[in-house]
Each structure stands twice: as C-alpha cells, then as structure tokens.
C-alpha cells in the first residue's frame, strides 16, 4: 500500500504561472488550526505537537482538483493549441495557393457548424463557463466573421478575458448555482462543478476536436501533439 | 459578495451512484479536528465552540473537484454515450441496408484512425487512466475487431472495469507519480492530476468526438445531445 499513499510535498507550495500557490487557502487555514492545537489543553498528559499534527492533518487530506485548474487550466492551453492549429491551416492554404477562408467554410455534415463556427463555439463555451464561475459578465465577442485574422483575434480576446478572472472566485464556485443560457433563451441549471464536468468541458473539447478533424479532413498536416500541445 | 460565497450543504452529504459520499474522507477528518478543538483550553476566556469552529473551518474551505469525479465521473457517462452513438449508427445502416461494419472503416484522413480504432482509443484512455489512478493493472481488452458487437462489448467491459475501481485510491492519486506508456514504449511522467487534466481527459474527448464526427459525416442522424447525453 506504500506507494499508493498520497505524495504531497508540504515544504514547497506549488506555484502556477501567475505566481499564486494552488493551495494557499488550504495552507493558510491549516496553519490557523495548528496554532489552536499547539496551545496546552487540560487533559492530563495530552500535549499536542504541532509538527505531528501538521503531518496528521495534511497527510490524511485529500488533494483534489481546483475549479480553476479544471476550467482556466484547460481552456487557456487548448485555446492556444486551437490558435496554432489555425496557423497551420493558413500555412497549408498559402503553400497550395488557395484562400484560407475556404477552410473556414468546411463542415462535417450540412447541418453541422463549419470550421469558423466551431472556433466560435470553443471560445463561447470557454468564456461563458469561466465567467459563470467567476460571477462576471462574459466578454463581448464580435459577430463571427469567416476570416482567419478575426478568428485569431477572437481566440486572443477569449484567452485574455479568461486569464483576467479572479482565481479565488472561480475556486469558490463548485457548489454555487449557475445558469447556462442557450442560444434559444433556455437556461440550464447547474452547480459550478456540474457545469464544468457535465457540460462546458465536454462542449469545449467537442469544438476544439471538430476543428482539428475538419483541418485534417482538408489535408492539413497535423499530428495529435498539435491538439494536445507541446509538453 | 454574498452570493459568491461557497454554498455548501453540510447537513446532507452528496451521494453518488454507488452510495459513497463524494467528500466522506474530508468530512470524517474535519470531525476529528473539531473534537480536539472542542476541549477546553487554558487561555482565559477562550472556549472554542464546536459549532462556530465547524462553520469557521468548513465555511472557509474550498469545495473542489475530486479525482474520482474528474475521471470515473467523466469516462463512464461518455462511454455510455459513445455506445448509444454506435447503436444509432447500426440503426442507420440497417435502415439503408448496408453492413454497419462499413461505418467502422471510415476515417477523417488516410493517416487517422478509423471509427473502430477511435472507439478503441476512447476505451484505452479511459481504462488506462482510471487504472493508473487506482494503482491497478488495466483490464485486458481483446484485439480490436471491426465488428459492432465486439466494440459494444469492449465499451461494456471498460465501463465495468472502471466502475469496479476503488474510489478512495483514485481520490488519493492527485499528487502520486504515474507513468503513461505509449504504444511505442515511451513512458510519459505525470502526477495523477496532470495525467487527467493535460492528457487523459483531452485524449478521451478527442476520440469520442471524432467518433461522433465520423458518424455525422456518414449521414447518421445525431444531435449534440447524443454526444452530451440526455440530462
């Protein structure tokens, strides 16, 4: 069973790209509890040891996935990957001397969104989900046009908006009631957690993958690493 | 700020389909801390109130996403959705009097996996990721055949295996080192959390979505709800 034990390194908080620790709220709180416990208590012979307690408390604790990592932490890198996929589509069109906008009109089926719309949907699901979790209005994206520069700007605007949202608000949204408004006006009720796991993350990956599939179907030379991003 | 506060219902633990509370380890542990804090301490006038502490401790706590919910909780329903997509493909083939196995040979591009292989990859990524998190050997899946019954059995076996894995092991795997072995033998190092967020979940949705796209491209009448599952 030894190697199945949760391996936490409590000496070094993990730092993410914008410098916050992923678990600073947890750590701060545990410190506060330890301070209380390290005071002498009345029971004879009982003298809590802060170091032991620290191990006991933190060692038993479940390390999980934060709402921020499961939303912003997925949407931003995969929007960047989507942008890179489009760049490869443009390079392919230029090499074969056709207008890259032709790619943007391609569809899997007559009643499915075309490539431009798939990109629009990926941006929409990422920005709306992140905004709902942060309890902010989503960024206003312009009317969708079938031009590569406009779509790249749309992706960049989406990333900038998502990265501007407050981490603490998103991390506190797991149990909050949120409502996703469909284009027909219907509002679907979720909690923050069910929004991500049952709707927004699957929707987001659907549209990024379908964009990849359309480009591959058109002959653009992509490999799975272009979808996954370079490690 | 009021409505942004984390809304937890501590009176009723959430029950999932196999009867365990999603956060029973957390709850058990917090109870243990409260017992310690509710003992009288020496500092004059300081008399901790378990109810206040309970609110203080739990109210400040981040409710997050468990490793189990972010793995088994995604893989199982989307494998069921994948199975239902295939059923619609079979019904389409029967209505038009062609062999359903023709669908299984369809590809987006000559150097992409065909539909049968997309289904095989969805099963592989789901079972291997869940096995790595649970520190078990993944279920042995038979050699991939291009027949619908075999693929439906493959999906059913995958679901059965994933559902048999111990929740507590998976929930404790966020920080554990795991290695994903590629088909060429290369081992990619991850923690349980990075395996899910940067690799297995995106891979899984890639293959489920591409299966959907291939069926749509072939003319099977599917709508987005067939991908997302009925709520």
Task: Indicate the average pLDDT of chain B.
Answer: 80
Q: Among partner residues A29, A62, A198, which is closest to B26 by beta-carbon distance?
A: A62
Q: Would residue A130 count as lying in a domain? A: yes
Residues of A in contact with B62 (CB under 8 A): 25-26, 66-67, 171-172, 174
Nearest CA in chain A to B8: A175
Q: Which is more confident, B56 or B75?
A: B75
How much is the CA Rg of chain B, to the nearest whole Å?
Answer: 23
- Chain B contacts of A4, Cβ < 8 Å? 135, 169, 172-173, 176
Tens digit of each residue's pLDDT (9 = 90 or more) over A103-157: 999 999 999 999 999 999 999 999 999 999 999 999 999 999 999 999 999 999 9
Q: In A133-156, which positions are buried (b, 16+ CB within 10 angstroms) versus exposed (e)?
A: bbbeebbebeebebebebbbebbe
- Residue A97 placed within a domain: yes
To the nearest whole Å, the CA of B61 is away from the closest chain A CA by: 7
Q: Give the number of C-alpha atoms closer than 13 A to the C-alpha of residue A211, restricted to the C-beta side.
A: 30
Interface test with A, best of B42, B64, B108, B200 (most A CBs within 10 A): B64
Does A7 contact chain B (CB < 8 Å)? Answer: yes
CA atoms within 13 A on the CB side of B84: 16
Please give the full DSSP string across B49-67, using - where no structure is assigned.
-HHHHHHHHHHHSPP-B-T
**Model confidence at B48, in pLDDT bands (50, 70, 90)?**
very low
Residue A67, domain member (yes or no): no
CA B198 to chain CA centroid, Å, is: 14
Q: Please provide the size of chain A in residues.
A: 231
Domain end (from A18, A40, A60): A60
In angstroms, rounded to a whole number, what is the distance separating the alpha carbons of residues A62 and B156?
Answer: 30
Pick from A8, A60, A197: CB nearest B73: A197
Q: What is the pLDDT of residues A9-39, one digit of tens each?
A: 333 333 333 333 333 333 333 333 333 333 3
Q: Flag whether B166 is in a domain.
A: yes
Render pLDDT for A204-217 as a digit per residue (tens, 0 to 9): 999 999 999 999 99
* Chain A residue at shortest CA distance from B134: A4
The neighbouring-strand residues paired with B21 are: B15
| Of the residues A60, A82, A108, the one at which a domain ends | A60
My answer on whether B46 and B86 are in the same domain is: no
Buried b (16+ CB within 10 A) or exposed e, A16-25: eeeeeebbeb
Give the E-state strand segments of chain B in sequence order: 177-181, 187-191
CA–CA separation, A156 and A161 (whole Å)? 9
* A83/A26 same-domain check: no
The strand pairing partners of B86, in sequence order, are none
The answer to whether residue B117 is domain-embedded is yes
**A41, A174, A219 member nearest B65 (Cβ):** A174
3 state SS for chain A: CHHHCCCCCCCCCCECCCCCECCHHHHHHHHHHHHHHCCCECCCCCCCCHHHHHHHHHHHCCCCECCCCCCHHHHHHHHHHHHHHHHHHHHHHHHCCCCCHHHHCCCCCCCCCCHHHHHHHHHHHHHHHHHHHHCCCCCCCCCCCCCHHHHHHHHHHHHHHHHHCCHHHHHCCCCCEEEEECCCCCEEEEEHHHHHHHHHHHHHHHHHHHHHHHHHHCCCCCCHHHHHCCC
ipTM for this prediction: 0.76
Reply yes or no on whether the pLDDT at B154 is more than 70.
yes
Say whether pLDDT at B17 is over 70.
no
DSSP state of B190: E
Give the A:B interface size as CB pairs under 8 Å: 195
B12 domain-assigned: yes
Residue B66 lies in a domain: no
CATH number at residue B176: 1.20.120.450
What's the confidence (pLDDT) of residue B230?
78
pLDDT tens figures, A41-87: 333 443 333 333 333 344 445 678 999 999 999 999 999 999 999 99
- Residues 135-174 on A with a CB inside 8 Å of B are 135, 169, 171-174
CA distance B194 to A63: 13
Domain identity same for A114 and A25: no
Q: Beta-carbon neighbour count of residue B69 at 10 Å? A: 22
B-chain residues within 8 Å CB-CB of A228? 198-199, 202-203
pLDDT band for B27, please (50, 70, 90 cuts).
very low
pLDDT of residue A231: 66
A193, A203, A225, A229: best to mutate for the B interface, most B CBs within 10 A: A193
Mark whether A36 and A105 lie in a shared domain.
no
pLDDT of residue B162 exceeding 80, the answer is yes
Indicate yes or no: CB of B62 within 8 angstroms of CB of A5. no
The answer to whether residue A163 scores a pLDDT higher than 90 is: yes
Q: Looking at the structure, do residues A115 and A140 belong to the same domain, yes or no?
A: yes
pLDDT surpasses 50 at B38:
no
Residues A116 and A165 in one domain: yes
Substitution target in A5, A213, A214, A225 with the highest count of B β-carbons within 10 Å is A213
A60, closest residue in chain B (CA to CA): B29
Instruction: Check B65 against A70: CB less than 8 A apart.
Output: yes
From A77, A205, A219, residue closest to B205, measured CB to CB: A205
Contact B5 A206 (CB under 8 A): no
- Both B87 and B53 in one domain: the answer is no
pLDDT at A230: 78
On whether both A103 and A209 belong to a single domain, the answer is yes
Q: Are residues A11 and A114 located together in one domain of the fold?
A: no
Find the mean pLDDT for residues A176-181.
97
Please indicate, yes or no, whether residues B207 and B168 belong to a single structural domain of this protein: yes
- Work out the minimum CA distance from B205 to partner chain A, whole angstroms: 6
Q: Which of A112, A129, A115, A133 is nearest to A203 (CA)?
A: A129
Q: Residue range B92-106: average pLDDT?
A: 97
Number of domains in chain B: 2
**Calpha distance A45→B59 (Å, rounded):** 32
CA–CA min distance A202, chain B (Å): 7
Residues of B in contact with A115 (CB under 8 A): none
* pLDDT band at B58; cut points 50, 70, 90: very low
Q: Residue B55 has what pLDDT?
A: 33
Q: Which residues contact A206 (CB under 8 A, 6 or more apart)?
A: B205, B209, B212, B224, B227
Query: Does the beta-carbon distance from A174 to B62 stay under 8 Å?
Result: yes
For B117, the domain range is 72-228
Supply φ then ψ for residue A70, to 5 degrees. -80, -5
How far is CA A209 from each of CA A185, B4, B63, B121, rounded to the nearest angstrom? 26, 33, 30, 15
* Averaged pLDDT score across all residues of chain A: 80
Q: What is the mean pLDDT of residues B158-180?
A: 97
At A212 the pLDDT is: 98
pLDDT digit string (tens) for B112-146?
999 999 999 999 999 999 999 999 999 999 999 99
Same domain, residue pair A86 and A119: yes
Asked if the structure places residue A66 within a domain, the reply is no
**Do A126 and A16 reside in the same domain of the chain?**
no
Burial (CB count <10 Å: 0-12, 13-18, 19+), residue B128: buried
Taking a C-beta distance cutoff of 8 angstroms, is the pair A71, A176 a contact? no
Which of A165-174, B38-47, B188-197 shows the lowest per-residue confidence on average (mean pLDDT)? B38-47
């Amino acid at each position: 069973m030894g190697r199945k034990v949760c391996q936490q390194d409590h000496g070094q908080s993990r730092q993410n790209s914008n410098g916050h620790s992923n678990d600073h709220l947890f750590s701060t709180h545990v410190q506060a509890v330890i301070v209380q416990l390290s005071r002498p208590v009345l029971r004879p012979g009982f003298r809590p040891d802060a170091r032991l307690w620290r191990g006991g408390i933190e060692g038993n604790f479940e390390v999980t996935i934060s709402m921020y990592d499961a939303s912003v932490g997925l949407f931003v890198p995969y929007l960047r990957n989507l942008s890179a996929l489009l760049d490869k589509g443009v390079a392919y069109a230029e090499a074969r001397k056709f207008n890259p906008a032709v790619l943007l009109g391609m569809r899997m089926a007559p009643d499915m969104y075309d490539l431009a719309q798939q990109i629009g949907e990926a941006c929409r699901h990422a920005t709306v989900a992140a905004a709902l979790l942060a309890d902010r209005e989503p960024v206003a994206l312009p009317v969708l046009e079938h031009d590569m520069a406009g779509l790249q700007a749309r992706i960049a605007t989406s990333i900038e908006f998502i990265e501007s949202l407050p981490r603490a608000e998103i991390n506190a949204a797991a149990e909050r009631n949120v409502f996703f408004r469909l284009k027909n006006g219907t509002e679907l009720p979720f909690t923050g957690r069910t929004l991500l796991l049952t709707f927004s993350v699957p929707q987001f990956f659907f549209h990024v993958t379908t964009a990849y599939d359309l480009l591959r179907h058109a002959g653009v030379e992509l490999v799975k690493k272009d979808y996954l991003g370079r490690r």
